[in-house]
Structure 1
Amino acid sequence: MELFKSERLLYRAPEDSAEDKEFIHSSIINDNTIQTMSTMRLSRPANKSAADEFIKQMHGAVLGVLICLPAPTSEDKTTASEGSSSSTTTKPIPIGHMNIFYTHGADASHHRNAMIGISFAEGYRGKGYGGEAINWALDWAFMRGGFHRISIGAFSFNTNALRLYRKLGFVDEGRDREAIFHLRKWHDLVSLGMLENEWEELRSKQSEITHGGE
């Protein structure tokens, strides 16, 4: 099993390259949905230098990765639409990003408490990639990172995200009431978490289901 790969996805560090900066700038930072659903920053256009800062923050995270699809195979290229730029690429295709960072800063790392942040570019949402990537990150955090607790958050109006996080096994831990202003209404910031023993139990049950018929 490859460490930085899940069933359909690859995970790599972001580079200080023109390609990565362009992806972050156009498909993440300036994406309307991400600005609305995944950040508390005021929604407004971000300049090119914002991508530099974003990548710098990813480099400083405990784990900062670009979520990628594998490079197209020869068969994929043959069946791709003529004239499509993706039909000629030989590199993995970035479709999102994910960070694991200390909830209360590096000075509190001894508490082994971290948080996941994740978002996907337009066209790659609703395909099950989020659940796959988060499960990979949870396995990395508890098996490799030595963490005791992983948290994740969502705005109360982001019902799809909350449904996914609960399905993955995160437990509701609380909410900041009316902390988010969106479309002239106030919404809650919902906090969820998973402990390492809860993760162990989930993986044990999944293993029993997978190997139950053997």
Structure 2
Amino acid sequence: MTLCEGIELYKSKRLLYRAAENNEEDKTFLQHDLFKDNACQLLGSARLRRPAHAGSAEDAVKSFQSVLLGVIICLRPDTATNSEGPESPDTPAQKNKPVPIGFVSLSQQGPEFAHHRSATLAISLRGGYRGQGYGGEAINWALDWAFEQAGLHRVGLTAFSFNHRALHLYKKLGFVEEGREREAVQHFRVWHDIVILGMLESEWEKLRGFTPEATVVTPSFSSELGSE
């Protein structure tokens, strides 16, 4: 067997990751299942909460296609039929098709900042698929991609201080709290912090069990660490 045989670049235990396409299927998914979801609006962005206009999904697809990594998270066909989500596939054609449940992205400030080898991670899951470990599985996959494929040195993310569930997950996955923007977000007339977290390449290596003397690195895309 060669080094490349058996490697699943764009799959993990229950999920697969594909490019976002500027077609009706992806735009409908983003518009109706994510951007109109209350939890996504309340927890995913500090932007003023307003109804998503018709062009929001197309703008998002363009953004996913321009950042370092922007992929649609899908349930693999062999796991989608057992989903507890709101729209489990029921026809034979649907059962053989991956079910989109969210997105994960890694973005950088621009080409002039690339030498810092740092990126910001963002993730969102549709209602009915949260709390089942899919978020942790997708983040672990994105971290493996970031450090194994993109050669990054640091991956950061942020969360609102009232989003206790997300903060618990991120720290469980190995992210370290690095600081806070104090009272930077107003949530129903109460001020909250933006929590800044990060993971360094050396911390990821320790989590995956890599040692300094290792000469061959085994790809980690099938990692199941930290699922929640």
- TM-score normalised by length of structure 2: 0.83
- Paired residues for 1:103-182 under 5 Å: 104-182=109-187
Structure 2 counterpart SS, 1:86 = coil
Q: Give 2:63's aligned residue.
A: 57
Aligned-pair distance for 1:72? 5.2
User: Structure 2: any 5+ residue segments left out of the alignment?
Assistant: 1-6, 211-217, 224-228
For 2:66 and 2:97, locate their aligned partners in 1 and report how far apart those are by CA, in whole Å.
Answer: 25
The answer on 1:45 being equivalent to 2:48 is: no
1:199 aligns with 2:204: yes
Deviation string 1:55-98 (CA, Å, 9 cap, x unpaired) is 1000011000000001258x94xx89xxx772121321000001
How far 1:106 moved relative to its partner?
Answer: 2.7
Equivalence for 2:101: 95
Q: Distance between the aligned counterparts of 1:85 and 1:138, measured in 2?
A: 28
What amino acid sits opposite 1:155 in the alignment?
F
**How many angstroms apart in 2 are the aligned matches of 1:151 and 1:128?**
20
One-letter amino acid matched to 1:69:
L
Q: Which amino acid aligns with 2:45?
A: T
Give the aligned CA root-mean-square deviation in angstroms: 2.2
Alpha-carbon distance in 2 for matches of 1:39, 1:152: 12
Which residue, 86, 109, 117 being the options, matches 2:89? 86
Query: Structure 1 residues 190, 85: closer, same or farther in 2, change over 3 A?
Result: closer
Task: Tell me by how many angstroms 1:9 deviates.
Answer: 0.4
Q: Report the alpha carbon displacement of residue 42 of structure 1 after superposing the two structures with TM.
A: 1.1
Query: Where does residue 21 of structure 1 map in the other structure?
Result: 27
Q: TM-score, normalised by structure 1?
A: 0.88
RCO comparison, higher one (Cα < 8 Å, 6+): 2
Q: Is the 8 A contact 1:72 1:87 kept in 2?
A: no
Paired residue type of 1:58:
F
Count of residues paired in the alignment: 201
Q: Which has the higher helix share?
A: 1
Deviations 1:166-201 (A, max 9, x none): 000000000100000001100000000010001001
Q: Percent sequence identity over matched residues?
A: 52
